[in-house]
Amino acid sequence: MNPSFFRGLSLKAMAGAFAALSAFGTFASPALAQGHGRPGQLGMLEPVTAIASDMHDFHNLLLVVITVISVFVLALLIYVMLRFNEKANPNPSRTTHSTALEVAWTIVPVLILVVIAIPSFRLLTHQLVLPAADVTIKVTGKQWYWSYDYPKDQGDFGFDQIMKGEKDLKPGDLRLLSVDNEAVVPVNKVVRLQVTAGDVIHSFTIPSFGVRIDAVPGRLNETWFKAEREGLYYGQCSKICGKDHAYMPVAIRVGSDQQYQAWLAEAKKKFAAVPPSNEFADNAAARQ
C-alpha cells in the first residue's frame, strides 16, 4: 500500500483533534527532538520515521477510545448507584430482557473494534511489507552487546557495539546508552535490518524509529526503517536475556549521504582487521 495514502487518512486528523485529551501527549516540540529520554520526560521519544509517528497517532487514538469508554462506564455506575439504590427506588422493575438494548450493546463494541482494527492492520502491513532497501545491515544480539555486519555492497565489514563503562564516559556521553562504536546509516534511505542472535533471544529496539524486533538464535528476522531526521538514536535490548540485559544499548547515528560515505570509508579501514563475526545471510534464502 502506498505509504502516503496510509499517512494521509483520517487517523492522524482524529488523533490530532483529541490529542489535548492525552495526559501523556506525544507531540513534543521539535526543539526537544533527540533519540533518548530526558529526565522527567513524559510520553514517548519523538518519532523520526513515518511508522513511528503512525504508531504514536494510533496510541493517541486508542487513548481517546479507552478514555471515552471508561468515563461512560463510570457515569453509568454512578447513575445506577444514585438512581436505583434501595432508598431511591424501593420497587425495582422486573424487566429481564430488552432486545433493542442487547442488540445495541453487541453492535456498538463491534463497531468500536472495527474502528480500532482498520488503522491497526494498516500499520502492521506497513511494518511487515518491506520496501526495496537502499542499505541492508545485519545485526546480531549477543550476551551482552550487538554486532553489526555491513554486506559487500557497503564495504563488507563487521564490528561489535559495546556499552561504555562509567569510567570511559566523556562529557556529553550518556550513562548506560553511549557505546564504543556507533552504527551509521544514511538519512531518508530505506534501511533493511536483518536481525538474529548468537546465544539467547534478545530484542533489537529503537523507539524513535518505531523498530522493535526479536533477535532469535538460528532465525533471521527482518524489519526496516527510513529515518527522516539526522541525529543519534538510542535503544535498548528489550527481551530479558541474562545478567547484563540492561547494559546492551543500541546506538545508531543517522547522517547525510556524505557523512555515511565518509564513515564507510573510515570503518572499512578501522574494522578491516576484524573479520565479520557472522556470514551475511542471503536475503532470498532467508525469505523462503
Residue closer to Cu ion, measured from CB, 49 or 203: 203
Residue closer to Cu ion, measured from CB, 195 or 267: 195
**Binding to Cu ion (CB under 5 A): which residues in 195-214?**
202
DSSP code of residue 90: S
Residue closer to Cu ion, measured from CB, 6 or 247: 247
The least distance separating Cu ion from the CB of residue 178, rounded to whole angstroms, comes to 17
Q: Which of 159, 182, 166, 177 is nearest to 253 (CA)?
A: 182
Residue closer to Cu ion, measured from CB, 15 or 251: 251
The least distance separating Cu ion from the CB of residue 203, rounded to whole angstroms, comes to 7
Identify which range of 37-45, 95-103, 115-123, 238-246 contacts Cu ion by CB under 5 A.
238-246
Assigned C-alpha cell, 271: 574494522
Q: Which of 265, 236, 135 is nearest to 188 (CA)?
A: 135
Q: Interface with Cu ion includes 241 (CB under 5 A)?
A: yes
Residue closer to Cu ion, measured from CB, 12 or 202: 202
Q: Interface with Cu ion includes 237 (CB under 5 A)?
A: yes
Residue closer to Cu ion, measured from CB, 63 or 162: 162
The least distance separating Cu ion from the CB of residue 241, rounded to whole angstroms, comes to 3
The least distance separating Cu ion from the CB of residue 216, rounded to whole angstroms, comes to 11
- Total residues contacting Cu ion by CB under 5 A comes to 3
* b/e 98-124 (16+ beta carbons within 10 angstroms → b): eeeeeeeeeeeeeeeeeeeeebeebbe
Dihedral (C-alpha) 214, 163, 188, 52: value to the nearest 10 degrees?
50
Q: Interface with Cu ion includes 250 (CB under 5 A)?
A: no
**Spatial CB neighbours of 252, under 8 Å, sequence gap ≥ 6:** 182, 183, 184, 185, 206, 209, 232, 233, 235
Residues 266 and 260: their CA atoms lie apart, in Å, by: 10
Residues 260 and 186: their CA atoms lie apart, in Å, by: 6
Whether 228 contacts 209, CB under 8 Å:
no
Q: Interface with Cu ion includes 63 (CB under 5 A)?
A: no
The least distance separating Cu ion from the CB of residue 239, rounded to whole angstroms, comes to 6
Q: Interface with Cu ion includes 163 (CB under 5 A)?
A: no
**Binding region for Cu ion (CB under 5 A):** 202, 237, 241
